[in-house]
Amino acid sequence: MKSLLYPITGLVLLLPLMANSATLGGSAAQDSCTDKYNQGLADGYDLGYDQGKTDGDTQGWWRGLADGDDQGWWRGFADGDSQGWWRGFADGDSQGWWRGFTDGDGQGWWRGFTDGDAQGYTRGDADGYARGLATQLAACIADPQSCDIPLASCIPDALVGETEPNDSFVTADPLEPGTSFWGQLYALNDRDYFYTATTKLNQNLLITFSVPEWLEGANLAEGNPGLWNISVLDAAGNVFASFDSNARSAVQSTPDSLTYSVTLGLAGTYYIRVQPAAGNEINAHAYSVSALVQDSPLGGTQPTVGFYDTEMERNDLPSQSNRLANGVTMYGVINLTFNTPIPEGDTAVWGQGEDDWFKYTSPGNEIVTLTFCEKEECPLGNWLVEVYDQSMANRYESGELRENLTPILAINTNNSGDPNRVFRFGLRNAGDYYIRVNHKRLFEAPCRVYRYVTNSGFGAQCACESGNSCDIPTDDCSDSALGLVCRNQIADCAFGIEPGCLSADGADGRLRYPPNCPVFGPDGQVTEKCVTYQTLARCSCSQYGGVVEVPEGSYTSPYNFTWHGTRLPPSTADSDAYADYENRPTPY
């Protein structure tokens, strides 16, 4: 798999936005964020002024103190010199120093404050600008609907394209956070896969899909220049979210872009699939896609379970039953079997009888809703569904004849006219209940090899024009060593010429028919001849196989059903509420 080059580190990946980059179309992304830059500058001015005033106030005091201490001493010395060297020195040294210090302290404070204010403003302005820009972009990404520009504008334009083939999980392209890929679907069966990863539970995945803004008439909401379907899948292929490019439920949209958000409960790799929208023709227009992962306020953990359950073979007996989870759809399929040919007239059919068994544990006194093909529409099929309690299931598994058993429920559901069938029934007693699912299928068993039937099994090969058995005229029926299973049949044939043709004249141990044949007339002419007959050897199929042809109107297909135990009483008349109702006083 192509490596994900950079880890997902959060919002900082959006900074700095790329300016003057080669784009898929339109102006650079930074130009679209000018308003946010100006807002950041204003915030920086306010923050810088406040920070500069504080810095100037602090720095000015200390600088003023140092300046006053230095200037005051020299000013006091000069004043002392003018008043008289000796007295002036003494007075100046004392008074001048303090007066000079006071004057210097005041002048130094203001000059230091001014210098500090200027330096603090400059530094604070730069800090505030960066801080304000980051704050604005973070707010935009955290809540796109509250931002006055689309998230797509703050993501650098696509610089690289998909790398074909990327039509599967294995060859998916990595979507680096905050960057875009451009791609193109060249056929209806083309699929583009990308992948990204979450690092925490319940993180949001924001997908931004766009087309070049310079496309004339581009309006994704109206299906221009075309329709795409974008889906989010986990590593098992389960679809977590799916939307078309004209989705009205996007958290943000412009004529040429939309942003869609989905919260992913588990941490790991997720795949983004772009494909033609169902029922639409292919379009060759380029698109771009990007992904951004961010934390969400959603807490808690998600269970590691699937979207549905599937049967696990072998589950052909009640003791091998798969357990049903209440309200969770179960998928299954009745396996075809080609083990035992069953004679049916002149042909044979493959004996079908592979059952699927499931078990549900009921608390008793509840209504059960059984819905066939609820989760997904089933292909055409005809299923037999039966529900047994524990005692009947035990008798079934022990080999008791089906006609001696009484199931709680026995239905035949044919979805050729109604793909979704709902059945409701009550379970009185607590305990285990068993569901048997089977499918009616009759497939002709074609013959692969024909052989003569002998007293001990099969002999030499033979052939039948149709069906799985036939009788073939042969002279070998008289050969006891071959032991062929034969029969005689009166036939108008040429004795001594056609195979198996004999005269029923009683000669050489042959049959005589009619019993007194031949009959001669007065003139010695034969008035009634002995009939001719043929000896026919049984030719039958000794090996079945070859291509199975499914006859028109016969179906076999997967199924799904949902078993929902409601824990509601099957009869309101047996409930406490009804007893209370009956005990209410009435005026009658």
Would the CATH topology of 151-295 be identical to that of 318-446+549-583? yes
155 falls in which pLDDT band (50, 70, 90)? low
Q: What tens digit of pLDDT does each residue of 378-414 get?
A: 777 778 899 999 999 999 999 999 889 999 999 887 6
Residue corresponding to tokens 């931002």: 147
One-letter amino acid at 222 equals: E
Q: Which candidate, 344, 348, 340, 347, places its Cα nearest to that of 466?
A: 347
* Phi-psi region at 524: left, alpha or beta (left = phi > 0; alpha = psi -120 to 50): left
Determine the topology of domain 151-295 in CATH. Jelly Rolls (2.60.120)
pLDDT for 302 equals 79
Kindly give the pairing relationship between strand 356-362 and strand 322-323.
parallel
pLDDT for 569 equals 85
pLDDT over threshold 50, residue 451: yes
Q: What tens digit of pLDDT does each residue of 525-561 get?
A: 888 899 999 999 999 999 887 666 666 656 667 889 9
pLDDT over threshold 90, residue 92: no
pLDDT for 555 equals 60
CB burial of residue 93 (10 Å; 0-12, 13-18, 19+): middle
Q: What tens digit of pLDDT does each residue of 332-370 get?
A: 988 777 777 777 777 777 766 689 999 999 999 999 999
282 vs 374, higher pLDDT: 374
What's the angle, vertex CA 103, arms to CA 98 and CA 107, rounded to 5?
A: 145
pLDDT over threshold 80, residue 587: yes
105 vs 8, higher pLDDT: 105
Cβ-contact 137, 156 below 8 angstroms? no
pLDDT for 294 equals 87
Residue 388 main-chain phi, psi, to 5 deg:
-120, 150
β partners of residue 219: 224
20 falls in which pLDDT band (50, 70, 90)? very low
pLDDT for 358 equals 97
pLDDT for 187 equals 82
Q: How far is CA 222 from CA 225, 244, 245, in A?
A: 9, 11, 9
Average pLDDT over residues 259-273: 92
pLDDT for 359 equals 97
420 vs 198, higher pLDDT: 198
- Dump the DSSP string for 21-67: ---SSSS-HHHHTHHHHHHHHHHHHHHHHHHHHHHHHHHHHHHHHHH
The percent of residues above 70 in pLDDT, for the chain, comes to: 69
Q: Is the dihedral of CA 230, 217, 178, 284 positive or negative?
A: positive
Q: What tens digit of pLDDT does each residue of 217-257 get?
A: 888 888 888 899 999 999 888 898 999 988 877 677 788 88
pLDDT for 179 equals 78
Give me the CATH code for the 318-446+549-583 domain, please.
2.60.120.380
Separation CA 201–CA 266 (nearest Å):
5
pLDDT for 177 equals 78
Domain boundaries, the chain: 34-142, 151-295, 318-446+549-583, 461-543
Q: What tens digit of pLDDT does each residue of 168-223 get?
A: 999 999 988 777 888 888 888 889 999 999 999 999 999 999 888 788 888 888 88
- Rounded mean pLDDT of the chain? 78
Tokens of 21: 């980059």
* 277-278-284-287 Cα dihedral, nearest 10 degrees: 10
Q: 15 Cβ partners below 8 Å, 6+ apart? A: 133, 134, 137
pLDDT over threshold 50, residue 23: no
Q: 365 Cβ partners below 8 Å, 6+ apart? A: 426, 427, 428, 430, 569, 570, 574
Separation CA 81–CA 93 (nearest Å):
10
Start-to-end Cα distance in the chain: 81
